[in-house]
Amino acid sequence: MKKSKEHSSVWNSRSAFRLKSLCLVVCLFGLILVLATRPISQSSLHGGTTGGDKSDGKVIPKGEAFLSKNKPLDSGSTLREEDSSDVEDTEDLDEENGVEKTAIAAADRTSADDDGEDGAETEKSETVLRQNPDGCDLFTGHWVADPLGPMYAYNSCRVLSQPQNCQDNGRPDNNYQFYKWKPQGCEIPRLDPIAFLKVMEGKTMGFVGDSLARNQYESLLCILLQVEDAKPTGNRNMQRWYFRNHKFTLIRIWSSFLVRQSSEPFSYAPDDSTKLFLDELDTYAEYIPRFDVVIISSGHWWMRKSAYIVDGEILGGYKWEPNVTEIDQGRAFSMAFETALRLIGEIPNYNGLIILKPYSPDHYQGGQWDTGGSCTGKTDPYSPEQAPRNSFNDMMRKRQMDALELVTKRLKTSKKRNGSKFTVLDVFEALNYRADGHPGPYRSKDPNKRTQRDEKGRPPPQDCLHWCMPGPVDTVNQLLFEILKRQLPKQMQ
């Protein structure tokens, strides 16, 4: 009897142990199953949060937040391209849900690779204001004859906007296509589109700006499409081209002022004025983390009637009389670039190359685009001694350069600085010599357009701001490539 009780006790003990063990195994299996099927957050995929507050995917006032790298580049964004009589619109590109998955994947891989390689090497934002290797000043020089002519024909590029297709629009001369830029102290090679694609292989480049940014963007596309076809996606406000063979994505985002703008009523600002929030970034800021290289520009939209707003208060305006005039047009322009450059330079973990393209000189004489200004009769470049000086153009360029210098100095001591690099594509002087390179009155194919002065001596309506294609704007991209070769040496190797 005693043995039976002892046997029963041992049996019960073993049964309890087995039951507990079974429960433990079941619990562990359940835990593993839960973890395996649990959705992984985007922040955990990229090492936690990226910093900054966000609200509904929008940039918070004062630009203290930015969108993470995983924000889709979709055609449904709030980016917009303004309609204007002096800014011609391109046709909408075909949309494929706004993005191409392959291009997005390539951009993500590029961002991840850069975070791993460059982040450890560069601890703070760097600035290279001018490219002077071996005494070569890329941006000081003169134009010389080029018997080879343009890198593409006006009728060989499907992305060329009609207002810049001067030959197709009936311009009788083509001398402006047969010049090349000769920098001081060196020779630069003709732009090789295959070499360009190899340097940018696996990377993403973005142009952010107005119609002049589009002008340069289309020029680069025309050059690259001569050697490799590409697939377009997106719309007029955000255009994307993906070069599959080189996994290179080229993007253009419209932002006329770089800072947030609004047409909605604000305080006592005139209803017909553009309200510019000089301490807040425009919506393009959300996409900057995707760009290995970004070219930023703005300029001639600042001639519009505007209210200048800082910290929720109107502190100035243009083409009207605000109660407070602490900020004039030039200072507002400078503040916009300070905001844009500083906040890009503070995006956590971003180590891209930020290229500032300064103000593009126009060549209106006798008035502006809407007051009878003209550039007709110019068929060859100016020499450096002949080039006209425009104090307003000079001032606007200086404001941009001062903003870049100020921001880079402040970032050196900022705890928020990232590993990005700043440089400048300073083609101001080179383009100032090219009054011959504008469309002038040849802005459309209209056979009845007026190209000569009327009986009262008034010039025809014309464009003396944008650039004919092919034309001087192609040289801007030649110089852009020289910068890339100097700033991206690993890719060249």
Q: Would you name the residues annotated as active-site residues?
A: 211, 463, 466
**E strands along 174-262, which residues?**
179-184, 204-209, 231-234, 238-243, 248-254, 259-262
Q: How far apart are CA 354 and CA 424, in angstroms?
A: 8
R_g (Cα) of the chain, nearest Å: 28
Of the candidates 403, 304, 387, which has an alpha carbon nearest to the alpha carbon of residue 84? 304
User: 335: which strand partners?
Assistant: none
Between strands 204-209 and 248-254, the pairing is parallel
Tokens of 296: 């930023």
Burial letters 374-394, b for 16+ CB under 10 A, else e:
bbbebebbbeeeebeeeeebe
Of the candidates 178, 167, 222, 231, which has an alpha carbon nearest to the alpha carbon of residue 443? 167
The verdict on whether omega for the bond into residue 183 sits within 30 degrees of 0, i.e. cis, is no
User: 241: which strand partners?
Assistant: 232, 250
234: left (phi over 0), alpha (psi -120 to 50) or beta: left
Residue located via tokens 């760009």: 291
